Structure 1
Amino acid sequence: MATLRHNHTLLLSLLLTLLVQIHHSKSSELVTESSIHDLLKSKGLPVGLFPKEVESFTLYDTGLLEVFLRGPCLTKFDTMAFYESTIRANLSYGGLTGVEGLSQEELFLWLPVKDIIVDDPKSGLILFDIGLAHKQLSLSLFEDPPDCKSDKSEGVLSLKNKSRKEIGFHAQM
């Protein structure tokens, strides 16, 4: 009789664990848009914030957005921008906050982009928080997803440091 209760308890515990795992896996992803660019548009952001080279993305119910590229790459808006292979941010209507994996060249330095905010779409401006400063750019710079260069022969990191080397600054690693 004790063995039967033990088996019953064990089976009930396993079933409960399985149900919790199924619920967690179904509630952890809430992707309904077909592309990252559609998702951005539905959240009041310009479609050109991420390059054409996005392979996939995941939006969790917590608002965390993970964007996966084919590899690290460079593109240009008003200045050069560097995307790592994975970019993470908290997505809300009109904003990407706590951005990780995106940096922008400013005065020969690469500064991490922390937040990207569109407060008022009618203003035609988008705000980039690069830590030391807030930079307002025209939304028109982000109308189309940019092409992103990842030159394997030269290496993306050397491309990122190229402008520094051209003026005499060398990356210290």
Structure 2
Amino acid sequence: MSMAHTSSQAIFLVFVVLSFTLSVAHFSSIHELLRSHGLPAGLFPESVKSYNLDHKGVLEVNLDGPCMAKYETRVLFETVVRANLSFGQLKGLEGLSQEELFLWLPVKDIIVNDPSSGLILIDIGLAHKQLSLSLFEDPPVCRSQGLSLNIGGRKGIGFQDQR
């Protein structure tokens, strides 16, 4: 083997290792992952237990259990929340509902089209709401006290009496 051939193989090997390392970059928290994708860190509560982002961009976020947080209105996180993550977007959300006029509606998409606008778009199916990005800067506290999910043929949300 010639010296040039050996060095070109070494350079190629370094290139492959660096490419692989960059493509599977691991973030220390879900909040850091969101920021790296042009989304605010506070879209998920501080109590996230774990998360996984697969090679297709499917994000699965695991919490200790269902819990409720408040942004402009109350939101309910189920134990597992899934979405397709791309830059500035969480699309096809499952496991997140928002209270609107005493109804709990599933959040379908969360989109930041232009971060300089200071706005975030929340798609709840029946309507699109534009909210201030500043509401989502910090991860909220998510409380499970007094919250119970009644899972039957249909999902329902109930609240136990506080003692």
TM bucket by the smaller chain?
A: 0.7 to 0.9
Q: Aligned pair in 2 of structure 1 residues 30, 58: CA closer, same or farther (>3 Å)?
A: farther
Give the CA RMSD over aligned residues: 1.8
Q: Higher helix share goes to which structure?
A: 1
Q: What does 1:110-125 align with in structure 2 at a 5 Å threshold? A: 110-125=104-119
TM superposition score normalised by structure 1: 0.73
Q: Aligned pair in 2 of structure 1 residues 74, 31: CA closer, same or farther (>3 Å)?
A: farther
Q: Would you say the 8 A contact 1:89–1:100 is kept in 2?
A: yes
Q: How many percent identity over aligned positions?
A: 63
SS in 1 for 2:139: coil
Q: Would you say the 8 A contact 2:88–2:113 is kept in 1?
A: yes
Residue matched to 1:16: none
Q: What does 1:37-76 align with in structure 2 at a 5 Å threshold? A: 37-76=31-70
Q: Higher strand share goes to which structure?
A: 2
- Candidates 130, 138, 146, aligned match of 1:136: 130
Gaps of 5+ in 2: 1-22, 151-156
Aligned partner of 1:34: which letter?
A: S
**Cα drift, residue 31 of structure 1:** 5.5
Q: How many residues align?
A: 132
Aligned partner of 1:65: which letter?
A: L
For the pair shown, the structure with the greater C-alpha radius of gyration is: 1
Residue matched to 1:155: 147
Gaps of 5+ in 1: 1-28, 163-173
Q: Would you say the 8 A contact 2:147–2:158 is kept in 1?
A: no
CA distance in 2, matches of 1:125, 1:115: 14
Q: Would you say the 8 A contact 1:31–1:59 is kept in 2?
A: no
TM superposition score normalised by structure 2: 0.77
Q: Aligned pair in 2 of structure 1 residues 57, 31: CA closer, same or farther (>3 Å)?
A: farther
CA distance in 1, matches of 2:24, 2:102: 39
